[in-house]
Amino acid sequence: MRAAAPRFEVVALGSVGSTNDEAHLLARQGAADRTAVTAVEQLGGKGRRGRAWASPPGNLYLSAILRPSCPVGQAAQLSFVASLAMRDAVRRFLPDSAAVAVKWPNDVLVEGGKISGILLETGPINGGDVEYVILGMGINLAHHPDNAERPATSLAALNADPGVAAARDALLEALGRWDSLWRARGFTPIREAWLSDAIGLGAPIQVRLPDSTLDGVFADLDMDGALLLEQPDGRQRITAGDVFLAR
* Helix (H), strand (E) counts: the chain: 5, 15
Question: How high is the pLDDT of residue 166?
Answer: 97
CATH at 160: 3.30.930.10
| 233: exposed, middle or buried (Cβ count in 10 Å: 0-12, 13-18, 19+) | exposed
Residue that finishes a domain, picked among 162, 178, 195: 195
pLDDT by residue (tens digit) across 100-117? 999 999 899 999 999 999
pLDDT by residue (tens digit) across 170-209? 999 999 999 999 999 999 999 999 999 999 999 999 999 9
pLDDT by residue (tens digit) across 123-145? 999 888 999 999 999 999 999 88
Question: How high is the pLDDT of residue 56?
Answer: 82
Q: Rounded mean pLDDT of 29-39? A: 97
CATH at 213: 2.30.30.100
Question: How high is the pLDDT of residue 141?
Answer: 96
Residue that finishes a domain, picked among 178, 195, 212: 195
Give CA–CA dist 173/135, Å, rounded.
Answer: 15
The reply to whether 163 falls in a domain is yes
Per-residue confidence band for 161, with pLDDT thresholds at 50, 70 and 90: confident
Per-residue confidence band for 1, with pLDDT thresholds at 50, 70 and 90: very low
239 and 120 share one domain: no
CB within 8 Å of 19: residues ≥ 6 apart:
13, 37, 38, 39, 42, 61, 62, 63, 136
240 and 158 share one domain: no
Name the amino acid, one letter, at 109. L
Q: Rounded mean pLDDT of 9-13? A: 96
Give CA–CA dist 128/154, Å, rounded.
Answer: 40
181 and 211 share one domain: no
**Boundaries of domain holding 38:** 9-195
Measured from the Cβ of residue 192, the count of other Cβ atoms closer than 10 Å reads 10
92 and 209 share one domain: no
pLDDT by residue (tens digit) across 204-234? 999 999 889 999 999 999 999 999 999 999 9
CB within 8 Å of 88: residues ≥ 6 apart:
170, 174, 178
Residue 32 Cα distances to 9, 105, 132, 141, angstroms? 8, 27, 10, 28
pLDDT greater than 90 at residue 2: no
42 and 91 share one domain: yes
Q: How many domains, the chain? A: 2
The reply to whether 3 falls in a domain is no
Per-residue confidence band for 45, with pLDDT thresholds at 50, 70 and 90: low
Ramachandran angles phi, psi of 204, nearest 5°: -65, 135
Measured from the Cβ of residue 211, the count of other Cβ atoms closer than 10 Å reads 5
The reply to whether 4 falls in a domain is no
SS3 assignment, position 235 = strand
Per-residue confidence band for 58, with pLDDT thresholds at 50, 70 and 90: very high
pLDDT greater than 90 at residue 92: yes
Phi-psi region of 50 (alpha: psi -120 to 50; beta: other; left: phi over 0): left
The reply to whether 70 falls in a domain is yes
220 and 146 share one domain: no
The reply to whether 1 falls in a domain is no
Residue 105 Cα distances to 33, 43, 97, 111, angstroms? 24, 25, 24, 18
79 and 152 share one domain: yes
pTM of model > 0.85: yes
